[in-house]
Structure 1
């Protein structure tokens, strides 16, 4: 999201925090906003109408209230009404913002419950599980009913991840909106990291890092970027030695494999 859409989203994010003062409320808002996103994705005409910048804001908010009063909590209704009254560059940005607000709400629930670190780890680890198991990935992106996918995820993850983690993973993966499971989980992990005002560093190593090595790496990255860093360490057999660190679009590659590739390129030239 850019321009007007980004500004509108920032205001709604602040509004969410004010409307969700406890984990129960935050959880409820998250689940209800995901349901609204499903509705908007199914009803393209409604989505376009609510995001239409030429229509009066009050008129669009009134449509939302007629649709949602009595069906969701007042807090969720207020958020969607405020979103409809805001300015969006595209109707897609409008729906995307509500989806990200839903993820924000469930992340907020985890923060209140003291399980935000667990949420980040659960999202990252399950994303790697899905990437490594084509059968599971196929089941999640296939045409199976939402209830069947929810049951699959519950059987896999119940008692293994925190409550907010299970809810967020289930809501996101049963309606991925045309994206891969990995892309959806990465989006959610980024939102969770942002709530902690942290960057996510994906560290690939050939062998496990010791606790001392993790701490030294964390301290170095924190100093370099000037803000908190959350480390996700991946065992990668292709990393012959050293370490590869991915932060957003930036790759810090000090692996032996990359150095060998550089030597080969020089020889070929």
Structure 2
């Protein structure tokens, strides 16, 4: 959980620099990759995090440390983002890495916009989430940060096989494997799905069913919930054979569970209460 100072610093910095980052177009791919690399370095170097967030240290001094860290080869926008962040207040030193990662994801979304693949990436992330949902052993291996990052990336690539995911989807999936950041793998993918949904100005409706929804079902659900919420929605279709039948629909924190499993559980509770 981020403290108030960290939340404000992250939000204000991203709001102020968003137009500049968006205007970099396809350069945002390079910027996003640089920011993901910096996130990883910060996560593994506590002393550096403290040096960059120490309120008693002059900002110019921190920027000097930054230039030594990222060198002259970094994109100017990367340096501008990092310089802005080190000039802000943080509740905890570790929170600056969260902000850098947020900027990295933003950069990838702006690159996807420039390449015209934003919706495709959102859908592919949902497909990846659905594919891994019933593979707990595999997820455990992807979550295990005691295993070298390269081995986890190789495992992810083996799972994806010849899946023709967009390069943004693959990079985000790889980032989630390389640097778990104390999150479960599926949790990170869901977080990314939600960020893309908000970026597109839509609400994410997660629908869990025993078999894939067809196009007509997705369209009907989209129409119903767009009308109900009075703004566009994106249907995140999750396939989970264990639900047997019916649908589990989640809108934000609100869950409507009409699956066969949920009905059987309710029946069991009712019988038990009457016994």
Which TM bucket (shorter chain)? 0.7 to 0.9
Whether 1:234 aligns to 2:238 is: yes
| Cα displacement (A) at 1:249 | 2.4
Aligned pair partner of 1:221 in 221, 225, 244: 225
> 3-state SS of the aligned residue for 1:161?
coil
Alignment of 1:160-171 (within 5 A): 160-171=164-175
Question: Deviations along 1:75-95, whole A, 9 cap, x unmatched?
Answer: 101111111111222222211
The Cα RMSD (Å) is 2.5
Structure 2 counterpart of 1:5 = 6
Give the match's secondary structure for 2:241.
coil
Q: Give unpaired runs (5+ residues) of structure 2.
A: none
TM-score (norm 2): 0.86
Mark the CA change 1:140 to 1:236 in structure 2 (over 3 Å): closer, same or farther. Answer: closer
2:132 aligned with 1:147, yes or no?
no
Q: How far is the alpha carbon of 1:44 from its aligned partner?
A: 0.1
Report the counterpart of residue 43 of structure 1 in structure 2.
45
Q: Which moved more, 1:169-178 or 1:257-266?
A: 257-266
> Which segment drifts farther, 171-180 or 39-48?
171-180
Which runs of at least 4 in structure 1 moved beyond 6 Å after TM superposition?
none
- The answer on whether the counterparts of 2:142 and 2:156 sit within 8 Å (CA) in structure 1 is no
Tell me the matched-pair count: 269
Gaps of at least 5 residues in structure 1 are none
2:265 partner SS: helix
- How many angstroms apart in 1 are the aligned matches of 2:3 and 2:230? 24
Once the two structures are superposed, what CA deviation does each residue of 1:178-202 show, in whole Å capped at 9, x if it has no partner? 3221122122222211211222221
Deviates more, 1:32-41 or 1:255-264: 255-264
Q: Does 1:196 align with 2:197?
A: no
Distance across 2 between alignment mates of 1:214 and 1:20: 31
